[in-house]
Amino acid sequence: MCGITGWLDWQRDLTEQGTLVEAMADTLKRRGPDAGGVWLAPRVGLAHRRLIVIDPNGGVQPMVRKLGERTYAITYNGELYNFRELRQELETRGHVFESRSDTEVLLRSYIEWGPACVEKFNGIFAFAIWDENEQTLFLGRDHLGVKPMFYAQRGSSFLFGSEIKALLANPLVKPELDQDGLTELLSMGVFRTPGHGVYRGVSELLPGHTLLVTRNGVRVTQYWKLESREHTADYATTVQQVRELLEDAVTRQLVSDVPISTMLSGGLDSSGVSAIAARAFREEGRQLDTYSLQFVDEDRDFKANPLHRDLDAPWAKKVADSSETNHHIILLDSPELLQDIYEPMRARDLPATGDIETSLYTLFKRMKPDVTVALSGESADEVFGGYPWYYVQEMRNVNTFPWMALGGGNIYDSMRGDVLARMNLAEYKAERYQQALSEVPRLAGESAEDARTREIFYLNITRFLSYMLDRKDRMSMAASLEVRVPFCDYRLVEYMWNVPWEMKFHGGVEKGLLRDAFSHVLPEDVVRRRKTAYPVTHNPNYINGVRAKVREIVEDSSSPIFDLYDREQVRKMAYYDGPVGSGFMSEKNYYDHIIQVDAWMREYKISLV
């Protein structure tokens, strides 16, 4: 994985702007610590930061290739899992390769097929290709949006980057929030509206879309979307098809020239991925490394709730033993989490969510000395129906995004009255919800119940999953670690989209179909373990630590957060000494939120315009 950025300008000579283009790339060093490069032409500057995974010598970027008198240059972040098949096809069409890298396969695919090349890709990617002769810049992003891409237009300039910080390194893009951006931030939080960059005039290239920049303007095109149709296969055939798709996705994603591992929590999703990967390793006479996290004193502090039913550790050990992996437990303590508390915000360029992101970043940081690539179970819940709002009636039927009905009132109660008066947060959220529903690809003849289930799947795949992928990408790349997500293989997502809920919920349990698909590689009790969410710390030392930070913010007269929040309301929470709840917006989460927003406004020097 890597970090990419670039700058196109129709009026100024960018061959004289190499220092600034390099500065944009330098903001992405943690995404690509191993190498960097800049390529300049009069109209465009492309830059790259590289994390070496495949073909260390041949995959140098930006990569430039000539075909006759035509010159093409690419900067690319991602992995093509079908690059070997594509390479063979391109060779039959006369292409002669100069490297083993998938970068060259992607570039030559564009040379051969033009913008339609993205329809041939199976992978996770965000890239930009400059055609010097045509004077066009072509951007593409993968089907589910695993890899990020942001862009901004400023007069004659077009700028893009893997992260917003690359754009902010150019004086043309300033850290400003207008009314729309502020409303998006305060009403949607980390569950950003797809395409919304929050910062004024910054946009996100949507998953499954491409973008073409010419002298005539910018044109965005959708090349992939979910399509609804009747599912005709019986249950046994469906399970077998899912099993084959998963095994193919996992084994394709084990290709690497550097050490590779899997995340293993002991939950169904990561356990199944790890078991398939471990089997592939054993067939090659190797042993797979697996990783999980634990918190110091979690046996003492753990409090079961509907999202966290039990501890992961015993289950991770059971899977590691049955799959014969070399299992590593990363033990995290409160002082280390408090020390890293601002890193997720810096990785995201926006306020983060607290310890569920900090612990993930710290886990990856601790893994990095030993591995460079890891496979994860992300997106199985969205694709197979793992969350309670898929099947708990009172959660299914809320007239908003189901996960947003879990709570959050404390934050709004603390906001300044004049800020709330300038925007209607509830109306904005309702509009975004209706916008999402309007996109759902309907199936004629479905019952109202089935149509609602389809809506919930669409909301999760296009909204909730985007946050989960953002979190995984930013936290891993901040630690210079690449994470791959087999459940985001678009073939699997397409297939599962039309599988009826009765099959997905087979046996009356969430992800019943997936459980049966993994039954041949996992112990029976692991297959039947009920879903438990990503772990959070309940250690009182962490809670006391974040409460102390909020108290410092309250007593600091220069704290910028009080442009948005009422100081006395925050003070009341900061000096609350009662028992700390475990809900979605508990006191702990409240403290994390205040800390993140305050630090973001300080470090990024946010201007409200």
Q: List, by residue number, the catalytic residues.
A: 2
Backbone φ, ψ for residue 595 (5° rounding)? -60, -45
| Alpha-carbon span 535 to 293, nearest angstrom | 9
Q: Which two tokens stand for residue 267?
A: 């939950």
Check: CB of residue 586 under 8 Å from CB of residue 593: no
| Alpha-carbon span 388 to 405, nearest angstrom | 12
| Residue linked to tokens 């391109």 | 90
DSSP state of 461: I
Residues 6+ apart with CB under 8 A from 104: 58, 59, 63, 65, 97, 98
Verify cis geometry, omega within 30 degrees of 0, for the bond prior to 62.
Answer: yes
Check: CB of residue 489 under 8 Å from CB of residue 143: no
Could you tell me how far CA 398 lies from the centroid of its own chain?
A: 26
Q: Which two tokens stand for residue 517?
A: 């698909």
Q: To which H or E segment does residue 423 belong?
A: none
Check: CB of residue 275 under 8 Å from CB of residue 315: no
- E strand map for 272-369: 289-295, 326-332
3-state SS, residue 144: coil
What is the DSSP track for 487-502?
A: GG-HHHHHHHHTS-HH
| Alpha-carbon span 395 to 407, nearest angstrom | 12
Residue 188 gets the label, from left (phi > 0), alpha (psi -120 to 50) or beta, of alpha
C-alpha distances in Å from residue 332, one per residue of 335, 365, 540: 9, 11, 14
